[in-house]
Structure 1
Amino acid sequence: MPCTYKLADPQPPAGSIDWEGHKPGDGAIYEKTCAPGKTDNAITQMVWAADPPEEQVDPAVVAQQAVDKMLLVGPRIGITPKPGGKGVVGMPVYLWTAKTASTYGPNTASATAGSVTVTATAKVSKIVWTMGDGATVTCTTAGTPYKAEYGKNPSPDCGHRYTQPSSTRESGKYHVTATSTWTIDWTGGGESGQLTETRDSAVDITVAEVQVLN
């Protein structure tokens, strides 16, 4: 339970029970405030100390400081068809991201406050792809980059198929958004925990109908 200390001003008079058998000039009285867990139910009490007490550091707060040191960004989107190119209705769409420390993890950082050092490690646990046609695709992998030899085979782990051309949209394109959920495990100060962050990226792609020659 993290606690903070503030010198009582004014100090209690001599003989006050706050002195715990001591007297003014023999140490001092401090307001000790502790916040249990993550609630707002702070508890304040008067305590005597010979020297200014050292403030207790909440490891969870230090964990967030470690996360703030990380560069966590949205997916570096890979998609077929490529933005600027043109896909075809019914053909497999591959979805993937580059696997770097900033786009997929693992990404590790540490922070220190007082005597507490916390190390946090962030990894993407899922990516939710909003395809622009009303469909969403949830992938728990980084996806498989498309290669020409895959032909018309669907992605083995993260893909989609459009059933209508993007011309049905006002913009003439499908706006695809990829949102990463970063799961961050931390440990330090005798405690451990988990935090979550989200990041997103987006691209626009064109999907056309198959042209049939008579």
Structure 2
Amino acid sequence: MLSRQLAAVAGLALVMGATTATTAAAAPDPKPTTGVGECAFVEICVGAGVGSSGGSDDDKAAAPGKGSSKPSVPGPCTVTKMDPQPPAGSTVWEGHSPGEGAIYTRICPLAAAAAGITGLMGPPQTFWAAAPPAAVVDPAQLAQQALDKMTLLGPDIQITPKPGGKGVVGMPVWMWTTESAETYGPNSASASAGGITVTATAKVKRIVWDMGDGTTVTCTTAGTPYKAEFGKKDSPDCGTRYSDPSSTEPGGRYHVTATSTWQVDWQVDWQVNGGGESGQLAATRNNAVDINIAEVQVLN
């Protein structure tokens, strides 16, 4: 595998050398099928990076080379306007005519650090754009835009005893949430700019239940719905027991708040051979209910 990758690097060096030599000569005919041609100017440099929008350290993307299973993040991509432009009728115009926008070429490094190789570049990618790409397009910002398009809600709280009912001190309390794209995931959306499309997928990583009595319960699943046949059994994955009644609380009820931490994984859709850019964002949402917990009175 390493020998094949080294051979690829060597081949790439020959191609890059040939391209450099051609640039100094007369402009070659464009090759719209590959996007290779003399580029008159650099429109955009995309800085690779890992984005985050809050959350604890473990909600953020693991740094390359520190136990992460993700490929290391490569260096910057470059996007250039093809000069000369492809001839009219070329498929890269995507049905447009010359003069209606322009054709650009993007070249990005591949993540090959696992094999000890750096500087490996992916194949040129061509795209049509109505206007020159923006001065800076950060994939992490596109990931945030994709996240903003999603409807992510707090947990759809299901709990026994039910709100409006009455539980008993020392009896099992089961907590769970209805699983849907909005309340638990997965939930996906995309955002595009400058010929780049980023797709983000969100899923709840954990739910922290503040039980209203000063205790919290962290659940890494959606929880198990309670059934009458379970009787006095404890929940197998998301439950607790109260040791005091709620009579001393405002309204005589415990205010239970469930907070979801959403892990949002994003990647650039044009990544090639396992390379390209990816990262993580985090988001939190919450919901709350009030429940009544009574103390059993023993009569002598």
Q: Do Structure 1 and Structure 2 share a fold, with TM-score over 0.5?
A: yes
Q: 1:81 to 1:32 in 2, by over 3 A?
A: closer
SS in 2 for 1:200: strand
In 2, the alpha carbon distance for the partners of 1:162 and 1:32 equals 59
How big is the alpha-carbon RMSD for the aligned residues of Structure 1 and Structure 2?
A: 2.7
Give the deviation of 1:34 after TM superposition.
8.2
The answer on whether the counterparts of 2:44 and 2:137 sit within 8 Å (CA) in structure 1 is: no
Identity score, percent: 68
Task: Report deviation, 1:155.
Answer: 0.3
Q: Which residue matches 2:216?
A: 136
> How far apart are 1:171 and its partner, in Å?
2.6
Aligned 1:4-153 pairs, distance under 5 A: 54-55=133-134, 56-153=136-233
Give the direction of change, closer, same or farther, for the CA distance of 1:104–1:169 in structure 2 (3 Å limit).
same
2:247 alignment partner, SS class: helix
- Structure 1 117/30 Cα, relative in aligned 2: closer, same or farther at 3 Å? closer
1:111-155 deviation line (CA, Å, top 9, x unaligned) = 111200011100000000000000000000000111000000000
Q: Secondary structure at the match of 1:167?
A: coil
CA separation in 1, counterparts of 2:263 and 2:284?
Answer: 9
Name the aligned partner's letter for residue 65 of structure 1: Q
Query: What code does the residue aligned with 1:93 have?
Result: V
Aligned to 1:208: 294
Give the structure with the higher percent helix: 2
Moved more, 167-176 or 126-135: 167-176
Distance 2:231 2:183 in 1: 27
* Aligned-pair CA distance for 1:170: 3.2
Q: Match of 2:175, SS?
A: strand
Q: Determine if contact 2:46/2:138 at 8 Å carries over to the other structure.
A: no
Higher strand share: 1
1:33–1:112: structure 2 CA closer, same or farther, 3 Å change rule? closer
2:193 is the alignment partner of 1:193: no
Give secondary structure in 2 for the equivalent of 1:62: helix
Q: 1:166 aligns with which of 240, 246, 249?
A: 246
1-structure distance, mates of 2:238, 2:246: 20
Distance change in 2, residues 1:136/1:72 (3 Å) = same
Consecutive unaligned residues of structure 2, counting only runs of 5 or more, are 1-40, 51-82, 84-101, 103-130, 271-275
Could you say what secondary structure the match of 2:296 adopts?
coil
Once residues 37 and 187 of structure 1 are traced to their aligned partners in structure 2, the CA distance between those partners, rounded to angstroms, is 11
Aligned residues: 178
| Conserved? CA contact 2:171–2:242, under 8 Å | yes
- Asked whether the equivalents of residues 47 and 138 of structure 2 are also in contact (C-alpha less than 8 Å), the reply is no
Instruction: Give the unaligned 5+ runs of structure 1.
Output: 1-28, 39-49
Q: Compared with structure 1, are the counterparts of its residues 31 and 96 closer, same or farther at alpha carbon in structure 2 (3 Å cutoff)?
A: closer
TM-score, normalized by length of structure 2? 0.54
Q: What residue identity is the alignment partner of 2:148?
A: D
8 Å contact from structure 2 (residues 184, 222) kept in 1: yes
Cα pair distance change 1:135/1:115, threshold 3 Å: same
Give runs of ≥4 in structure 1 deviating > 4 Å.
29-38, 50-53
Which residue identity is paired with 2:219? C
**Alignment check: 8 A CA contact 2:158 2:177 kept:** yes
The Cα shift of 1:37 comes to: 5.4
Q: Contact between 2:202 and 2:263, CA under 8 Å: does it hold in 1?
A: yes
Supply the distance in 2 between the matched residues of 1:72 and 1:32 (Cα, whole angstroms). Answer: 33
How far apart, CA to CA, are the structure 1 residues paired with 2:167 and 2:182?
A: 29
2:168/2:295 contact within 8 Å kept: yes
